[in-house]
Amino acid sequence: MKLFHDLADIFYPTTCPGCGKVVERDRGWCEDCLKRVWNPRLLNSSHTDHLHGCYTLCNYEGAVRKIIIQLKYGGRIDRKKAFPPLLSRFPYWDRLTFCSLVIPVPLSQKKWDSRGYNQVDMMFEEWMEKAGKKYLPRGLVRFRAAETQSLLSRSERYDNIKGIFHINRNVDVRGKYILLVDDVYTTGATMESAAHELKRAGAASVTGLTIASGAM
């Protein structure tokens, strides 16, 4: 097995997704790129009526922002390889051991049909399953696409996203402690709306986790 990895490193070296520099297989990112974006934290404004706080891994800038956009809008599925090394580095997993179920924020059917995948699944699903966590890619459904959030004020974002999520048929979250995952946390309107529906369906608690955020 070591010989196989040694040969793979020679012919197919692991490169940093930020700058393309060759890095060790287990590291994923070079230290220079990681230092520019890495900022794992519990977001100050994320504890709401239905969301038991939200953690994030990185600042939404630089290479992380570029890679998320490429995966989300550019069809670059290969960019999903950038995220498992970040999830493995996350220092607060011990605070989330009580979460028994992982559910992603879903896309609308229109966006799913256009994109062919939910970028959140590309970021989280494989890593979560390898970590022994139950991941439900269709735990929530989204009734409709919302207007572009970036064009709206904070209060308008909450109104825009209110009531668009629903628990999927045959999914039972009663009494469960949910880890709700998404790519980016902006104002928290999307997370709050999804958490509201999960709590309405009987979830004991909903905690968020995103790859990146510009919030503190």
Q: Sketch the domain layout of the chain as residue ranges.
A: 38-213
CA atoms of 159 and 48, how far apart (whole Å) = 15
pLDDT at res. 147:
54
- Encoding tokens for residue 9? 């490193």
Average pLDDT over residues 58-73: 97
151, pLDDT greater than 70: no
Architecture of domain 38-213: 3-Layer(aba) Sandwich (3.40)
pLDDT at res. 1:
47
149, pLDDT greater than 60: no
- Encoding tokens for residue 78? 């290969």
CA atoms of 33 and 185, how far apart (whole Å) = 21
Reported as a pLDDT band with limits 50, 70 and 90, residue 84 is very high
2, pLDDT greater than 80: no
CB proximity list for 59: less than 8 A, separation 6 or greater: 37, 39, 212, 213, 214
pTM: 0.89
pLDDT at res. 60:
98
Report pLDDT digits (tens) over 20-55: 999 887 788 999 999 999 999 999 989 999 999 999
Distances (CA, A) of 195 to 80, 173, 192: 25, 12, 5
Residue 190 and residue 162 in contact, taking contact as beta carbons nearer than 8 Å: no
CB-side exposure of 194: number of CA atoms within 13 Å?
Answer: 29
8, pLDDT greater than 60: no
- Encoding tokens for residue 93? 């997993």
pLDDT at res. 14:
86
